[in-house]
Structure formats: C-alpha cells, structure tokens
Amino acid sequence: MAGLDPLIHAPTRLQLVTTLSAVSEAEFATVRAALDVSDSVLSKHVSALVEAGYLHSRKGVHAGRRTTWIGLTPAGRKALHEHVAALRRVIDAVE
C-alpha cells in the first residue's frame, strides 16, 4: 500500500522510531532495554536507519563512561508520520 515505508515497517524498527519520536535523543543502552533486544540487534537496526538518514548517532560520555546517543532526524520524523498515516488508512479499510 502506498505510504508504507518498508525501511521502518519491521516491528523492531517501528518500535525504535516510535520510541525515539518522544525525545530529542536517547542513550543506546536505554533504547536497548526499552525494546528488549541485544546490542547487536539494535546496532544493526540503528546502522540501517542512520544510513537511510532517518536517525543520527553520536558518541559521548555519560556518568564517566562512553556511550552512544541516537535520535530521529527530521527526515526520520517525516517518514514515521507518513508511515503511521498509511497504517491508519489500512486500518480504516478493515471495516
């Protein structure tokens, strides 16, 4: 269906972008715990979404340890809003 974004349609990626939509950015470990996935699974999804321009990633120090922060880019927010609108159209067609 038009408007569904195959890049963010996968359940884990959809959870990832919706989780990040509520904040400017979040610590990698916090997102990993919220999604209940491994480091490698989250890293794979983050890399694909960074490559697509939907997420940004930066390294930093938090509480004395190195960490990675991730957040949605404007393009990622737009893609999420368009995907949700397309999902609503699909749901509305069920009746």
Looking at the domain assignment, is residue 10 inside a domain? yes
Q: Using one digit for the tens of pLDDT, what is the confidence trace for 22-50?
A: 999 999 999 999 999 999 999 999 999 99
CB-based contact 54:72 (threshold 8 Å): yes
Looking at the domain assignment, is residue 1 inside a domain? no
Q: Give residue 59's domain range.
A: 6-92
Task: Give the side-chain half-sphere CA count within 13 A for 83.
Answer: 19
Question: Taking the complete model, does pTM exceed 0.95, yes or no?
Answer: no
The CATH number of whichever domain residue 54 belongs to comes to 1.10.10.10
Looking at the domain assignment, is residue 34 inside a domain? yes
Q: Using one digit for the tens of pLDDT, what is the confidence trace for 41-94?
A: 999 999 999 999 999 999 988 788 899 999 999 999 999 999 999 999 999 988
